[in-house]
Chains A and B, each alone.
Chain A
Amino acid sequence: MRRTHVQILERVLATIPIALGVAIAVFIFMRLMPGDPVDIMIGEAGGVTQEDIHALKTELGLDQSLPVQLGRYLAGLVRGDLGYSIPSSRPVAVVILEALPATMELALCSLLFALVIAVPIGVVSAVRQRSFIDRTSMAASFLGISMPAFWLGILGIIVFSLHLRWLPTSGRITYGFEPATITGLFTVDALLTGNMPALWDALKHLALPAATLGAGVAAVVARVVRSSMLEVLRADYVLFARAKGVVERAVTIRHALRNALIPTVTVVGLQVGTLLGGNMIVESIFGWPGLGRVVVDAIFSRDYPLVQAAVMVYALTFVVVNLATDVLYTYLNPKMTL
Chain B
Amino acid sequence: MRALRDSPICLEGIEAIDEGRRAAPGREVRRPYDFQEAYEVRAARTRGSWGTGPLGLAVRNFLSFARQMAGNPAAVIGGVVILLYVAVAIFAPWVAPCAPDQVALSERLAPPSWIGEFPLGTDQLGRDILSRIIYGARVSILVGVLTIAISVTVGVGLGVVAGYFRGSFDRIVSRFTDLLLAFPYLIFVIGAMAVLGPGFWNLIWALSFKGWVEFYRLARAEVMSEKTREYVEAARALGRSHAAIICSEILPNVVHSILVLGTLRMGNMIVLESSLSFLGLGIPPRIPAWGSMVNDGRRYMLTAWWVATLPGLALVGLVLAINLVGEALRDVLDPRLKEG
- A148 engages B274 (CB within 8 Å): yes
Which of A143, A151, A277 contacts B187 (CB under 8 A)?
A: A277
CA A318 – CA B191 in complex, angstroms? Answer: 15
CB of A35, distance to nearest CB on chain B (Å): 11
CA A316 – CA B182 in complex, angstroms? Answer: 7
CA A143 – CA B184 in complex, angstroms? Answer: 22
Known: A18-B178, A22-B179. A33 touches B195 (CB 8 A): yes
List, in ascending order, chain B residues with CB within 8 A of A316's CB.
182
- Tell me whether A40 is interfacial, beta carbon within 8 Å: no
CB of A219, distance to nearest CB on chain B (Å): 11
CA A204 – CA B316 in complex, angstroms? Answer: 27
- Tell me whether B236 is interfacial, beta carbon within 8 Å: no
CA A291 – CA B301 in complex, angstroms? Answer: 25
- A143 engages B320 (CB within 8 Å): yes
- The B interface is mostly helix, strand or loop, or mixed, namely helix
Known: A148-B312, A158-B305, A281-B279. A299 touches B182 (CB 8 A): no
- Tell me whether B54 is interfacial, beta carbon within 8 Å: no
CA A234 – CA B301 in complex, angstroms? Answer: 50
- A145 engages B323 (CB within 8 Å): yes
- A315 engages B25 (CB within 8 Å): no
Known: A146-B320, A158-B305, A281-B275. A318 touches B190 (CB 8 A): no
- B279 engages A273 (CB within 8 Å): no
CB of A124, distance to nearest CB on chain B (Å): 16
A contacts, CB < 8 Å to B = 18-19, 21-22, 25, 29, 32-34, 142-143, 145-151, 154-155, 157-158, 162, 223-224, 226-228, 230-231, 234, 263, 267, 272-274, 276-278, 280-281, 284-285, 295-296, 299-300, 304, 307-308, 311, 314-316, 318-319
Which of B280, B320, B339 contacts A223 (CB under 8 A)?
A: B339
List, in ascending order, chain A residues with CB within 8 A of B309's CB.
151, 154-155, 158
List, in ascending order, chain A residues with CB within 8 A of B320's CB.
142-143, 146
List, in ascending order, chain B residues with CB within 8 A of A25's CB.
179
Which of B175, B281, B301, B315 contacts A158 (CB under 8 A)?
A: B301
CB of A321, distance to nearest CB on chain B (Å): 10
Category for how many chain B residues contact A: 35 or more
CA A307 – CA B297 in complex, angstroms? Answer: 27
- B312 engages A151 (CB within 8 Å): yes
- A318 engages B182 (CB within 8 Å): yes
A-B contact pairs, 6 of them (CB 8 A): A147-B319, A151-B309, A154-B297, A154-B309, A154-B312, A281-B279
- A299 engages B194 (CB within 8 Å): yes
- B187 engages A148 (CB within 8 Å): no
List, in ascending order, chain A residues with CB within 8 A of B186's CB.
276-278, 280-281
- B191 engages A311 (CB within 8 Å): yes
User: Which of B191, B195, B275, B305 lies at the interface centre, i.e. has the most chain A CB atoms within 10 A of its CB?
Assistant: B191
Contact digits for B189-217, partner A, Cβ 8 Å, 1 yes 0 no: 01101110100000000000000000000
Which of A148, A162, A273, A314 contacts B271 (CB under 8 A)?
A: A148
CA A231 – CA B274 in complex, angstroms? Answer: 36
Other than the known A150-B291, A155-B309, A319-B182, what 13 A-B pairs have Cβ atoms closer than 8 Å?
Answer: A18-B179, A32-B195, A33-B195, A142-B327, A223-B339, A272-B184, A273-B185, A274-B184, A276-B184, A278-B186, A280-B187, A280-B190, A307-B194
- A29 engages B301 (CB within 8 Å): no
Which of B183, B271, B308 contacts A22 (CB under 8 A)?
A: B183
CA A114 – CA B267 in complex, angstroms? Answer: 22
Contact digits for B314-340, partner A, Cβ 8 Å, 1 yes 0 no: 011001100110010000000000111
9 closest A-B pairs by beta carbon, nearest first, are A277-B186, A227-B340, A151-B312, A273-B184, A146-B319, A146-B320, A228-B340, A21-B179, A299-B194
List, in ascending order, chain B residues with CB within 8 A of A226's CB.
340
CB of A16, distance to nearest CB on chain B (Å): 12
- B182 engages A315 (CB within 8 Å): yes
List, in ascending order, chain B residues with CB within 8 A of A272's CB.
184
Which of A34, A151, A300 contacts B315 (CB under 8 A)?
A: A151
CB of A258, distance to nearest CB on chain B (Å): 16
- B279 engages A296 (CB within 8 Å): yes
- B279 engages A227 (CB within 8 Å): no
CB of A282, distance to nearest CB on chain B (Å): 11
